[in-house]
Amino acid sequence: MRIGARFRPFSFGAMAAFRLRQNVPTRPTAPQALQPRFLQKLCMTDEALYRHRLWDEFLQAWPRERLASMTLSDYIRCRSQESFTYWLEFKLADLGSIKGGTAIKFGIFERKDPASPSERYEWKEDLGETPEEAYARIHARILATVRAAELGDIDAVEAVELSSLLKWKVAFLYQDRENPVFPCIYGDNYLRGVTGLTRKATHAEAVKKLMAAYDGKEDIFDFCRRLWKDYDRWRQIAPTATSTRGSPSATGRLFLPIRKSRRRTFARSSCA
């Protein structure tokens, strides 16, 4: 398997293809609320339209108003497919994947079979002494991310103290859909690779460079997918022994760093 294959942000998998075959025999009808924008972009692909429908489903389940009262069990809950984090990581994988890594990217996670009630949750130590205190900080930071996304403030999102994958996906989902400023590529190394920036560049700098090339005529999903495919093509043909810095070489090819596996101390899903 190619290195990094599981982190591909556009895994238009079998389930998505099945839904398209069953529900979209020809070019599908756009959701009523999005008709004006779809009519302006007649070149939108069916895959992009599918992703917009999925985006609609998420915002219906998790509107801005519901976030304000989101509880810890709403945010992360074992054996639930309706929690906020389950939506982000699994249901919305086709809107840019944040799979992989450990569950601590959400700040806190719930254990499936804790030895005692006091061991039900595990969280980052700097967030507080109790799970309630830790979640209160996470919740406040998620709301701050949403406010910044609604304003299109890239630097404000960068300043929020949440994991990169979490805050940039939240920012993408709650931005102004008519005038997007956040791409659906969330991994730091991948975004730097697509934009040709070095590791010294911040995520916000990479977002600004990427979106500077977006003129609004192309759908945001088609735009990101096209750039990702170009980058992935270069990554596949690049000689792996030439560079490990994740930045363009003299030939213009892009490389990803090869990292040694390390012992995992946290669960790989939000329910351990």
| Tens-digit pLDDT profile for residues 71-100 | 999 999 988 999 999 999 999 999 999 988
At 217-251, the pLDDT tens digits run: 899 999 999 988 887 776 766 544 333 333 332 22
Query: Is the overall model pTM greater than 0.85, yes or no?
Result: no
Cα–Cα distances in Å, from 86 out to 14, 106, 153, 242? Answer: 19, 11, 26, 38
User: Which residues lie across from 110 on neighbouring strands?
Assistant: 121, 271
At 141-195, the pLDDT tens digits run: 999 999 999 999 999 999 999 999 999 999 999 999 999 999 999 989 889 888 9
Cα–Cα distances in Å, from 41 out to 29, 37, 136, 141, 246? Answer: 13, 7, 41, 34, 34
Task: Phi first, then psi: give them for residue 107, nearest 5 degrees.
Answer: 90, -35
Amino acid symbol at 84: F
**Helices 188-195 & 203-211, crossing angle to 10 degrees?**
40
Q: Tokens 């497919």 belong to which residue?
A: 81
| Residues whose CB is less than 8 angstroms from the CB of residue 24 and which lie 6 or more positions away in sequence, other chains included | 46, 49, 50
CA–CA distance, 35 with 95 (Å, rounded to integer): 20
